[in-house]
Amino acid sequence: MNSEKHSKLIKNIAKKIGFLSCRIAKAEFLEEEAPRLEKWLNQGMHGSMSYMERNFDKRLDPRKLVPGAKSVVSLSYNYYTKENQKDPKAPKISKYAFGKDYHFIIKEKLRKLLLEIKQNIGNVEGRVFVDSAPILERAWAKKSGLGWVGKNTNVITKEVGSYYFLAELIIDLDLYPDPPVTDHCGSCTACIDACPTEAIIEPYKLDGSKCISYLTIELKSEIPKDFSGKMDNWMFGCDICQDVCPWNRFSKPHLEPAFNANNQILNMGKKEWEELTKETFNKVFKNSAIKRTKYDGLVRNISFLKEKVKS
* pLDDT tens by residue, 17-76: 999 999 999 999 999 998 888 898 899 898 888 778 888 888 999 999 999 999 999 999
pLDDT in tens, 151-197: 999 999 999 999 999 999 999 999 999 999 999 999 999 999 999 99
Alpha-carbon distance of 110 to 89, in angstroms, equals 38
| DSSP class per residue in 131-190 | S-SS--HHHHHHHTTS-EE-TTSSEEBTTTBT-EEEEEEEESS---PPPPPPP--TT--H
CA geometry: angle 220, 214, 96, nearest 5 deg: 115
Whether 131 is a known active-site residue: answer yes
With H, G, I as helix, E, B as strand and everything else as coil, classify residue 223.
coil
Mean pLDDT of the chain: 95
Nearest residue to 261 via CA among 232, 287, 295: 287
pLDDT band at 308 (very low <50, low <70, confident <90, very high): low
Alpha-carbon distance of 105 to 129, in angstroms, equals 12
**β-bridge partners, 76:** 21, 166
What are the sequence ranges of the domains in the chain?
1-305
Are 104 and 256 contacting, i.e. CB atoms less than 8 angstroms apart?
A: no
Name the active-site residue from 57, 61, 101, 131.
131
Percentage of the chain exceeding pLDDT 90:
88
With H, G, I as helix, E, B as strand and everything else as coil, classify residue 119.
helix
Distances (CA, A) of 93 to 5, 222, 231, 235, 267: 42, 19, 12, 6, 12
Give start and end residues of each alpha helix (H) in the chain: 2-17, 33-42, 56-60, 102-121, 137-143, 190-194, 212-213, 240-243, 263-267, 270-274, 278-284, 294-310
pLDDT in tens, 83-139: 999 999 999 999 999 999 999 999 999 999 999 999 999 999 999 999 878 899 999
**pLDDT score at 1:** 59
Q: How many CA atoms lie within 13 A of 10 on its CB side?
A: 32
pLDDT band at 309 (very low <50, low <70, confident <90, very high): low
